[in-house]
Amino acid sequence: MLRRLQAHADEIATASVVWNELLFGARRLPDGPRRRTIDRYLDGVIRGRLPILPYDEAAADWHASQRVRLSKLGRTPAFVDGQIAAIAAVRSFVLVTANIGDFEVFEGLDVEDWRS
């Protein structure tokens, strides 16, 4: 798995809504060595090396269409999962995740299990 990440290091990005979740998780921690280690990792490794892709107008449009389609089918995936899917889909990127089930409902999205 680590070899695959290293082999594709120049192709990896993250979504702005994932960045939000990472920051939220870190900032909920009490101040201390663990929090400072995580903060340094987020700043130096994630923000310092990975493009953070925005949830923009094109993504919002794609997401809205998918929400309408899925709601007619009685399916309501988590809103943030739809945002993540939209950011990848409008850029024709592969969404790599360990939670395939969270994203398989979206049409026009290429999803890959990062554990395989």
pLDDT, mean of residues 4-23: 88
Question: pLDDT class for 24, splitting at 50, 70, 90?
Answer: very high
Q: Which CATH architecture has domain 57-113?
A: 3-Layer(aba) Sandwich (3.40)
Q: Which residue has the tokens 């889909």?
A: 89
Question: pLDDT class for 9, splitting at 50, 70, 90?
Answer: confident
Question: Structure tokens of 11?
Answer: 């192709």
Q: Could you read off the pLDDT of 50-77 as tens digits, one per residue?
A: 999 999 999 999 999 999 999 999 999 9
The amino acid occupying position 108 is: G
Domain ranges of the chain: 2-53, 57-113
pLDDT, mean of residues 73-90: 97
Task: Spell out the SS3 assignment of 67-100.
Answer: HHHHHHCCCCCCHHHHHHHHHHHCCCCEEEECCH
Question: Structure tokens of 14?
Answer: 């993250």
The DSSP bridge pattern shows strands 52-53 and 14-15 to be parallel
